[in-house]
Structure 1
Amino acid sequence: MASNAAVPFWRAAGMTYITYSNICANLVRNCLKEPHRSEALSREKVHFVSSKWVGGKPEKPTVRSDTPEH
């Protein structure tokens, strides 16, 4: 029988570590004073390219710029 004593609290709360980490990062960014807050929030943006593959070859790539939800 496994003990729950060694289970991290974020896991016991039903979160993944990534979710917990994102919540903590958002809290820290929101506690910063200007101009550091603006700089940190601008680094939060995510840019990526995705391509669908059809018949073993990639189609035209799509560039996306998303920001994580708060």
Structure 2
Amino acid sequence: MASNAAVPFWRAAGMTYITYSNICANLVRNCLKEPLKTEVLSREKVHFSISKWADGKPQKPIIRSDTPEA
């Protein structure tokens, strides 16, 4: 087993790499100057669907459209 010294700081802080990566990406996007900032922020929107499973079959999917929090 690896020692705690080899654990990345984002893991030691209790977050996943995806969370850490999203925070870094938001910081970079917010540092951009106009007009690039507006263009990049418009591409930030995320669309996905969630399906719950019951008795081995998917239920009706829920379509979600979320934007990351700034």
How does the TM-score come out when normalised to structure 1?
A: 0.74
Could you say if the C-alpha distance between residues 49 and 16 of structure 1 is closer, same or farther in structure 2, counting changes exceeding 3 Å? closer
For 1:37, the equivalent position in structure 2 comes to: 37
Structure 2 counterpart SS, 1:64: strand
Q: Which of 1 and 2 has greater Rg?
A: 1
Structure 2 counterpart SS, 1:18: helix
Deviation, 1:2, is 3.9
Whether the 8 Å contact between 2:51 and 2:58 is mirrored in structure 1 is no
Deviation, 1:3, is 1.2
The number of aligned residues is: 69
Q: Establish whether residue 4 from structure 1 lines up as the match of residue 4 from structure 2.
A: yes
For 2:66, the equivalent position in structure 1 comes to: 66
Could you say if the C-alpha distance between residues 47 and 3 of structure 1 is closer, same or farther in structure 2, counting changes exceeding 3 Å? same
CA RMSD of aligned residues (A): 2.4
Q: Establish whether residue 24 from structure 1 lines up as the match of residue 31 from structure 2.
A: no
Could you say if the C-alpha distance between residues 53 and 37 of structure 1 is closer, same or farther in structure 2, counting changes exceeding 3 Å? same
Deviation, 1:68, is 1.6
Unaligned ranges ≥5, structure 1: none
Structure 2 counterpart SS, 1:48: strand
Q: Give % identity.
A: 78
